[in-house]
Amino acid sequence: MRFQRAAILGVGLIGGSVAAAIRHAALAGELVGYSPGGDAERARELGLVDRTAPSAAEAVRGADLVVLGAPIPAIPGLLRDIAPAIEPGALVTDCSSTKRGTVDAARSALGAKFPCFVPGHPIAGRENHGPTAARAELFRGAAVILCPQPETAPDALERARALWRELGARVVEMAADEHDALFAEVSHWPHVVAYALCGAIAAGERAGDSQRFAGGGLRDTTRIGASSPPMWADILLDNRENVLRCAQSFETELRALADALRAGDRDELIRRFGAAAVWRRGLG
Amino acid sequence: MRFQRAAILGVGLIGGSVAAAIRHAALAGELVGYSPGGDAERARELGLVDRTAPSAAEAVRGADLVVLGAPIPAIPGLLRDIAPAIEPGALVTDCSSTKRGTVDAARSALGAKFPCFVPGHPIAGRENHGPTAARAELFRGAAVILCPQPETAPDALERARALWRELGARVVEMAADEHDALFAEVSHWPHVVAYALCGAIAAGERAGDSQRFAGGGLRDTTRIGASSPPMWADILLDNRENVLRCAQSFETELRALADALRAGDRDELIRRFGAAAVWRRGLG
C-alpha cells in the first residue's frame, strides 16, 4: 500500500476519477472525500471514497496524500484551509488546468509546507462532469504534466511521479509558464473557438435546422462547446494573457482565409489549408 | 433491378461509395465508371464498377442512371460533355456540396434535358478521399438533400428519392438557396474555422509540442482540418457569399468572447458559453 490515507478535495469528474483509480490500483488504505456541495456524499454512495469529512482540514488530517480536484476559484481558499492540517511528509498535489495561478496560491498559502506541494495537471478532461462521470481508467494512457518548483521536495516529486504512473498515465515535467502557454494553445483557446461556433449558430436564424442537419464534421468541431460554462470561464480567466495571445494568431489566420475567399484567391486558400492539413495529419 | 446501367462520373469517396452501395443493394445491372484521372481504373480494380468508359459521354450512353460524383469545378464541363449522350428517360443526379452553382450549370448545359436532372447532396463527407475510401454503407442513416427545380420531371424526382432511400439514406427536400445557406453554416464555415485553428497552431512556435500534448478536445475540434485543401477551396469559393455571412456572425461572437475575457467579465462569459452549450447539447 503506497498511501495510508488519501484525501480527495473536490470529487467531481477528475477528483472522483483519481479516487476510483487509486482504489482500483489499491494504492491507499482509506479514501476520504470532501466537497463543499453534495459531490462528496454522492461519491461515497458511488463507492469512490470510503467516507466524507465535514471540512477540508478534517479530510487532510492524518492523510499522507492530498489531491486537490476542486475548481480553480476554490483552490486558494482550500489551500489556506488545509495548510495547518497538512501532516509532515504528506504529498499534496492538484489537477488544475492552469499552473501559474495555482503555484502562486500554494506558495502563499502553504508557507513552510510549500515543498510538499507538486503542481499537476492530468490531460483527461471530458465534456461530462460530476462524480457520476468519474471512471477509474480516465488517466490510462493520458499525459500528466507536473510543474515542480525550485522549493519542491525531491521526495514529494518522486512520489507524485510514481502515483500518476501507477494510475496509468505518462508523466511529463515542464515549467508552469510553459505549461500555461502550451495549454492555452492546445486546449483553452480551442474551447473559446468551439463556444463561438456554437454561439454564432445558436444566435442565428437556422439554430434548429442546423441541429437537424449537422454532420460528423460539425459534431466533432463543436463537441467541447458543451463543456461546463463556469469551469471554462474560470480556466480562461486564470490563463487570460496566454489565451488572448492565441486569439490574436487565430484571428490573423482567420482573416487571411476570409480575405483569400473574398478575393477568390484559390491558390492562397489551398496553400493555407495545406499547411493546416499537414499539421493536423501529423496529429494522427 | 431498378436500373439497367448506372454511370458513375467521378469515382472518389462519394461516387465510389454510391457505386458500392448500388451494387450492394443490387439496384443496377451494370456499373460503368468514368474519371479523367486514374480513379475509375482503381475503382474497377476494387470492384466498385464493372468497367470504365473512355469518356463521360461514352459512360452515359445506354445508362438509365447517371450520378455525378466529380469535384465542383469539373461539373459544368462534365454536364456539357454528357448532354448530347443522355438517354431519354434517364435520371441524372449529383452529389455536390453546393447546389445553386450546380443547378445553374445544369440548366445551361442540359437545355431541354434539364428536367431529368435532380440536384442532390448526400451528407456523408469524411476526411479521407479517393476510391479506396469508398464504402457501401456510407449513406446508411445519412441525410440526402434533394433540391428539385420547377422544371424537374416528377418521375425523375420520384426515382431519385427511391434510389437514395434504397441506399439507406433519409431524403429531405429544400430550395437550393436554403441548402447553400444552411450548409455554409453547418459544414462549410466550420471547415474554415478548423483550418484556421490548425493553421495558427502550425505557424506558431509550439507546432510540435501541441501535437504531442493534444487531448481529445483539440483532436475533435480540428479533425476536419485534415480534409482535402483543393476540394474545400472549391466548395467555399462556390458558396462564398453564404460563407462570408457566417464569417461575420462568427467573428462577432468571437470578438464578444475575447472582449469579455479581456475585461474579466465572468458573468458575460458564462452567459455566452451557456447559450452555446445549450445549443450543442441539443445536437445530442
Contact list in A for residue B243 (CB cut-off 8 A) is 261
DSSP state of B266: H
pLDDT computed for residue B127 by the predictor: 63
pLDDT computed for residue A103 by the predictor: 98
Strands A91-94 and A117-118: parallel
* C-beta atoms of A211 and B279 within 8 A: yes
Looking at chain A, which residue has its C-alpha nearest residue B279?
A: A202
Beta bridge partners of A6: A31, A65
Residue in the block written with cell 499534496: A92
User: Quick one: which of A83, A90, A58, A79 has its CA closest to A160?
Assistant: A90
Closest by Cβ to B213, choosing from A186, A266, A281: A186
* C-beta atoms of A215 and B186 within 8 A: yes
* C-beta atoms of B210 and A281 within 8 A: no
Q: Write the pLDDT tens digit of every residue in A88-127.
A: 999 999 999 999 999 999 999 999 999 999 999 999 877 6
B124 band by pLDDT with thresholds 50, 70 and 90: confident
Q: Write the pLDDT tens digit of every residue in A47-97.
A: 999 999 999 999 999 999 999 999 999 999 999 999 999 999 999 999 999
> Is B14 in CB contact (< 8 Å) with chain A?
no
Residue in the block written with cell 457566417: B246
Q: How far apart are CA A122 and CA B163, in angstroms?
A: 50
Separation in Å, CA of A220 to nearest CA in chain B: 5
Separation in Å, CA of B171 to nearest CA in chain A: 12
* C-beta atoms of B215 and A125 within 8 A: yes
Q: How far apart are CA A278 and CA B116, in angstroms?
A: 41
* C-beta atoms of B240 and A261 within 8 A: yes
Separation in Å, CA of A251 to nearest CA in chain B: 8
DSSP secondary structure of A96-155: -S--HHHHHHHHHHHGGGGGGEE-EEES---S--SGGG--TTTTTT-EEEE---TT--HH
- Determine the distance from the C-alpha atom of residue A253 to the mean position of all C-alpha atoms in its chain, rounded to a whole number: 27
Separation in Å, CA of A214 to nearest CA in chain B: 6
pLDDT computed for residue B153 by the predictor: 98
Q: How far apart are CA B209 and CA B261, in angstroms?
A: 25
| Predicted TM-score (pTM) of this structure | 0.92
ipTM metric: 0.92
Q: Write the pLDDT tens digit of every residue in B254-268.
A: 999 999 999 999 999
Q: Write the pLDDT tens digit of every residue in B47-94.
A: 999 999 999 999 999 999 999 999 999 999 999 999 999 999 999 999
To the nearest 10°, the Cα dihedral for A62, A64, A68, A73?
Answer: 60
φ, ψ for residue A70 (rounded to 5)? -85, 160
Strands A91-94 and A120-122: unpaired
C-alpha cell at B113: 434535358
DSSP state of A35: -
**Three state DSSP letters for B170-185:** EEEECCHHHHHHHHHH
A211 band by pLDDT with thresholds 50, 70 and 90: very high
Which amino acid is it at B180? D
> Is B153 in CB contact (< 8 Å) with chain A?
no
Closest by Cβ to B190, choosing from A183, A197, A264: A197
Choosing among A129, A171, A191, A213, which should be mutated to test the B contact, i.e. which has the most B CBs within 10 A? A213
Q: How far apart are CA A22 and CA A253, in angstroms?
A: 44
Looking at chain B, which residue has its C-alpha nearest residue A277?
A: B226
> Is A253 in CB contact (< 8 Å) with chain B?
yes
> Is A144 in CB contact (< 8 Å) with chain B?
no
**DSSP-derived 3-state class of residue B117:** strand
Looking at chain B, which residue has its C-alpha nearest residue A273?
A: B229
In terms of residues, how long is chain A?
A: 284
Chain B, 47 to 86: residues with Cβ < 8 Å from chain A are none
> Is B248 in CB contact (< 8 Å) with chain A?
no
- Ranges of beta strands (E only) in A19-83 are 28-34, 51-52, 65-68
Contact list in A for residue B224 (CB cut-off 8 A) is 217, 220-221
Q: How far apart are CA B186 and CA A201, in angstroms?
A: 8
Residues 6+ apart with CB under 8 A from B202: A275, A276, A278, A279
